[in-house]
């Protein structure tokens, strides 16, 4: 019994570590490269800062594209009056029929909570926005923001707490993003036509530059070289035989009981907008909302 218990504990610890995606953080330039406005990048040791002023924002992209896995960044958002600004962190494939998973951090006026907007695009179609505030001030310290993606679900996590799940419901005839490799991107830019209170509050450039700070870059995912043909990507990144990916394990096909409880708590206490309940935009409920448990 003691041996079995130790084996169970060891296995449980192993699975727990795999679920957390505990891989060592890489330096920025090992995984990413500047995408635009290199003069708005500031490097301070392990920290990367992106700057937004009235001349330009800035953005970066991963050197590789990936199909399934987990990506994480630690971000400290713009302090003070950040109204009108957006710090975006997302995964996306290419082309008009692209897939995309978005974190967008919507700037605020001083003293108001930051809003986090998530969105999911499938085959070029988005309009699946959810917005929530957070249970901490994301401008005072670094917090981890992760996207976990496998063939069964897409999970958005904040400090390992799930805040949104997009479940594969292909059995209901609903498309699911699983056949296009995605790059990982982040940027800071001016979006004062919509970002803060629907565009009512504009960017105050007297407070510029606006700085978003990053560290702890982690990508534990199946890399897809350009040389791999599109029809071979899914096969390359699927567990088979002795080739096993942790995100394909049965324990990763849905949230744990604890994670489900966390998600319920987040939605009950911090969700401020859900496209599924927006009858003005969607007089007929989107079909995935009818079947989704969360």
Consecutive 10-residue averages of pLDDT for the chain (294 residues): 39 41 72 96 96 96 96 96 94 94 92 92 95 96 98 97 96 92 96 80 91 97 82 82 88 95 97 96 92 62
Based on its alpha-carbon atoms, the radius of gyration of the chain, rounded to whole angstroms, reads 20
Q: Which of 167, 157, 164 is nearest to 264 (CA)?
A: 164
What are the distances in angstroms from CA 80 to CA 50, 111, 245? 16, 8, 42
Per-residue pLDDT, 292: 67
pLDDT of residue 240: 82
Active-site annotation holder among 79, 100, 218, 254: 100
Instruction: For residue 216, give every residue at least 6 positions away whose Cβ sits within 8 Å of its Cβ, in sequence order, or none.
Output: 25, 72, 73, 74, 142, 144
Provide the mean pLDDT of the chain: 88
Model confidence pLDDT, tens digit, residues 57-86: 999 999 999 999 999 999 999 999 998 999
* Structural domains present in the chain: 28-287 (2.60.120.200)
- Position 234 scores a pLDDT of 79
Q: Whole-model pTM?
A: 0.89
Q: Which two tokens stand for residue 52?
A: 């937004």
The pLDDT value recorded for residue 286 is 92
Q: Which of 46, 104, 170, 242 is catalytic?
A: 104
Q: Does the annotation count 104 as an active-site position?
A: yes
Distance CA 180, CA 67 (A): 7
pLDDT at 7: 38
Q: Which residues contact 87 (CB under 8 A, 6 or more apart)?
A: 50, 75, 77, 78, 104, 105, 107, 186, 187, 188, 212
State the virtual CA torsion across 277, 278, 279, 282 in degrees, nearest 10.
Answer: -110
Catalytic annotation present for 160: no
């Amino acid at each position: 019994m003691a041996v079995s218990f130790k084996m169970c504990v060891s296995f449980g610890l192993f699975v727990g570590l795999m679920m957390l995606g505990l891989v060592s953080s890489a330096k920025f330039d090992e995984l990413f490269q500047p995408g635009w406005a290199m003069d708005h990048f500031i490097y301070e040791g392990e920290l990367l800062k992106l700057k937004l002023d009235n001349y330009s924002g800035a953005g970066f992209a991963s050197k590789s594209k990936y199909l399934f896995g987990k990506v994480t960044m630690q971000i400290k958002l713009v302090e003070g009056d950040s109204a009108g600004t957006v710090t975006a962190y997302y995964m996306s494939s290419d082309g008009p029929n692209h897939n995309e998973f978005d974190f967008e951090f919507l700037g605020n006026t001083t003293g108001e909570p930051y809003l986090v907007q998530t969105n999911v695009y499938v085959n070029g179609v988005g309009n699946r926005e959810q917005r929530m505030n957070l249970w901490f001030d994301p401008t005072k310290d670094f917090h981890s923001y992760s996207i976990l993606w496998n063939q069964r679900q897409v999970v958005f996590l904040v400090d390992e707490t799930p805040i949104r799940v997009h479940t594969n419901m292909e059995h209901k005839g609903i498309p699911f993003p699983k056949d296009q490799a995605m790059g990982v991107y982040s940027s800071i830019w001016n979006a004062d036509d919509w970002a803060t209170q629907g565009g009512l509050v504009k960017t105050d450039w007297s407070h510029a530059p606006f700085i978003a700070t990053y560290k702890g870059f982690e990508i534990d995912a199946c890399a897809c070289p350009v040389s791999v043909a599109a029809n071979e990507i899914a096969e390359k990144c699927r567990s088979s035989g002795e080739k096993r990916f942790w995100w394909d394990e049965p324990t990763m096909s849905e949230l744990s009981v604890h994670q489900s409880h966390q998600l319920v708590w987040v939605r009950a206490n911090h969700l401020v907008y859900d496209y599924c309940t927006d009858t003005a935009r969607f007089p007929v409920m989107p079909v995935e909302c009818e079947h989704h448990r969360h």
